[in-house]
Chain A
Amino acid sequence: MSIKENLVEVNGLKKYFTVGHTGFLSQRPIYLKAVDGISFNIFKGETLGMVGESGCGKSTVARTMIRLHEPTAGSVIIDNSEISKLNHKELNFHRKNFQIIFQDPYASLNPRMTIGDIISEPLVVFKNRKQVDLSFKEIKDRVKELLTIVGLRASFINRYPHEFSGGQRQRIGIARALALSPKLILCDEPVSALDVSIQSQIINLLQDLQDKFGLTYLFIAHDLSVVKHISDRIAVMYLGKIVEISGYKEIYDNPLHPYTKALLSAIPIPDPVKERSRSRIILVGDVKYPADTFKGCKFYDRCQQKMEICLTSSPELVDKGNEHKVACFLYN
């Protein structure tokens, strides 16, 4: 096997949102720590799945990586350029290397633009900046080609988003993301708004496109079954931190972090006999609000194996071999 090359390296990425100030006339801000110091890498051509419950910061990671939000701290390197250090102009130049697909196929397409305008927009923007050397005729041909690639008819080019179903709209979003031939695509819950039978169509399409164009994906979802199916490696997030990261098989066969274990056992399996015989770890309580200034492990209050140390310090990701990393004092 050849040595795997990194396409993405994220180091100590933080994103704090200011949500208020301490007391009347006080200037010390209160932070919501959406992403609180996370590091990971994505190899060329692989799919890294990112799972976690709502509010754990998984979407913020994607948006901060490509500076849709400005990071509070940390560095992001995509394809050998340090995205977090680029100025506005350089950043725009690099944007063609990474694209994003959003969750809601209804909100992410402008209802007043035709499908052709939507998909060609990235090409036109880069043409105006003289970074894409295509005539308008060629752009139109490219849009038609993209429509066929994602399984739609080239004749849809003059139609509007409302004429399409959710699954078809998601295909349009994918075509737009492919327009500039990016190396990395961030998929932010691309199938969670879709029905079961449509969901599998889109998953298959994403996999086919990866094979065809050698794409690298960061695949964010809360549905672990979907993430397991599509990913090579999986990162589990809890309240702004990665608690465990490993190969997809390893993490399911041998989960280490108590949260990962609970998460896996909570997923219902569509198999009645297996379901009846499964033992389930039922977590108590809810996910905390991430604004806390609590020093200990963020999972402390819901953890069934908590120890004294978990209350006073926060565990770091430790490599347990086999590219399996976990942030938990049980394994230090």
Chain B
Amino acid sequence: MQKEILLKVNDLRTIFKTDEGIVRAVNGVSFIVNKQETIGIVGESGCGKSVTNLSLMGLIPSPPGKIISGEALFDGLDLLHINDKQKRRIRGKKISMVFQDPMTSLNPYLRISTQMTEVLLEHENINKKQALERSIEMLRLVGIPDPEKRIFSYPHEFSGGMRQRVMIAMAISTNPELLIADEPTTALDVTIQAQILDLLQSIQNKINMSIILITHNLGVVARMTERIIVMYAGYIVEENITDEIFYSPSHPYTKGLLKSIPRIDEEEKSKLYSIPGSPPNLVNLPEACPFYPRCDRKIEICTKSVPELKQISETHRLACFNPF
């Protein structure tokens, strides 16, 4: 089956100017997203997974942030080099985003109805009444009970899980081709997380969109994704189809990460593996593998140059001088 490419990102580099120096948050990231596919981007805080996607959406505050190189081809347009008018036409229409914190991503002063119809009136050629009907339909789709009444509520009248449902309803109301979900369930309880993940999957099947799922939770990506990108210190260190990442990881970081999480299905208790040290400061990244200070497989070359992300097989990309 020939897969159709929806988004192609090439050599994206984003920096932030701070008092302490230049933070190199994203260092030459390239990847593709196929149509109707779910990919996961995993990594720890500060690895650049959110900044990568904020860059694509044109949401990097500048200053202090700056995209210094790269291109992101979507629908024949380079997302990184389009004007504001073109950006507005894509953002919220063809690419939508769901953020981590459902408490702060809705405007507390406006009714849900106002916030939801605003998106539709901006992007779709419909009148207010139709927009309201469509919004109610969307709320019903995401499982908000009694949507005809609830749509006139304010955000504070909803619980965290319900607010995240509203965010998802808003994001998918324009039938986007790509949904970027940045830690969509991290702020939620496990039983609510299960509801939201279920919802995302069933919606994806209905409207055929692609999803970029950004998370640090390896259990969530195991369940949701077909392909996984592992990031560390602003670099992609490994990419492969989900099963391969979990069952035969090649990068020492990927392997270490998988070994260091306690699992609910573990039979016998054994001591957890732990990666020594902590992630590097992105201000003064040396010209070396960013992971070498914590790596137990480091060899001399790791301390002298940055490993290139190489295509190992059709699905596998890896940046390591001494992989498993």
Chain A interface residues (CB < 8 Å from chain B): 53-54, 165, 167-168, 195-201, 203-204, 207, 222, 224-226, 228-230, 252, 262-276, 280, 282-283, 286-287
Contacts and interface: CB of A to CB of B under 8 A. Distances in A.
Given A203-B272, A204-B272, A225 B261 contact: yes
Contact of A195 (B44, B195, B276): B44
A308 B246 CA distance: 46
A276 B220 CA distance: 11
Nearest to A195: B44
Interface string B189-200: 111111101100
Decide if the interface of chain A is mainly helix, strand, loop or mixed. Answer: helix
A229 B269 contact: yes
A287 to B, nearest CB: 7
Contacts of B266: 228-229
A224 B273 CA distance: 18
Contacts of A271: 222, 246, 263, 265
Contact of A283 (B44, B195, B219, B271): B195
B262 A197 contact: no
Contacts of A269: 219, 222, 263-265
25 contacts: A53-B189, A53-B190, A167-B278, A168-B278, A196-B257, A197-B275, A197-B278, A197-B279, A199-B260, A200-B273, A200-B275, A203-B262, A222-B189, A224-B264, A225-B263, A225-B264, A226-B262, A228-B264, A229-B269, A230-B262, A266-B190, A270-B218, A275-B219, A280-B194, A287-B189
A267 B278 contact: no
Interface residues of B, number: 44
Given A203-B262, A268-B197, 11 more contacts: A53-B191, A200-B261, A204-B272, A222-B189, A225-B264, A228-B262, A228-B266, A268-B220, A269-B265, A272-B243, A280-B198
Interface in B253-285: 256-258, 260-266, 269, 271-276, 278-279
A200 B44 contact: no
Contacts of B262: 200, 203, 225-226, 228-230
Interface of B: 44-45, 159, 161-162, 189-195, 197-198, 216-220, 222-223, 242-243, 246, 256-258, 260-266, 269, 271-276, 278-279, 294
A224 B217 CA distance: 13
A54 B189 contact: yes
A270 B195 CA distance: 18
A279 to B, nearest CB: 12
Contacts of A275: 219, 222-223
A263 B260 contact: no
A167 B278 CA distance: 8
A105 B275 CA distance: 20
B281 to A, nearest CB: 10
B257 to A, nearest CB: 6
B190 A224 contact: yes
Nearest to B294: A197
Nearest to B270: A229
A204 B271 contact: yes
Q: Which 8 A-B pairs have the closest CB atoms?
A: A268-B219, A229-B262, A266-B194, A53-B189, A200-B260, A195-B44, A270-B218, A200-B274
A274 B246 CA distance: 11
A34 to B, nearest CB: 17
Given A197-B275, A200-B260, A273 B243 contact: yes
Contacts of B274: 197, 200-201, 204
A325 B198 CA distance: 31
Contacts of A207: 271
A319 B219 CA distance: 33
Contacts of A196: 44, 216, 218, 257, 260-261
Contacts of B194: 265-266, 280, 282-283
Given A268-B223, A269-B222, A283 B191 contact: yes
Contacts of A268: 193, 197, 217, 219-220, 222-223
Interface centre among A201, A222, A263, A268 (most CB of B within 10 A): A268
A270 B191 contact: no
A283 B222 CA distance: 21
A272 B248 CA distance: 12
A77 to B, nearest CB: 29
A208 B238 CA distance: 33
A291 to B, nearest CB: 14
B264 A252 contact: yes
Given A204-B271, A263-B191, A266-B191, A197 B257 contact: yes
B131 to A, nearest CB: 28
Contact of A197 (B195, B223, B243, B256): B256
Nearest to B246: A272
A101 B82 CA distance: 50
Contact of B261 (A230, A263, A270, A276): A270
Contacts of A252: 264
Contact of B198 (A198, A201, A282): A282
Contact of A270 (B159, B162, B246, B278): B246
Given A268-B223, A269-B219, A272-B246, A286 B161 contact: yes
A220 to B, nearest CB: 15
Contacts of B243: 272-273
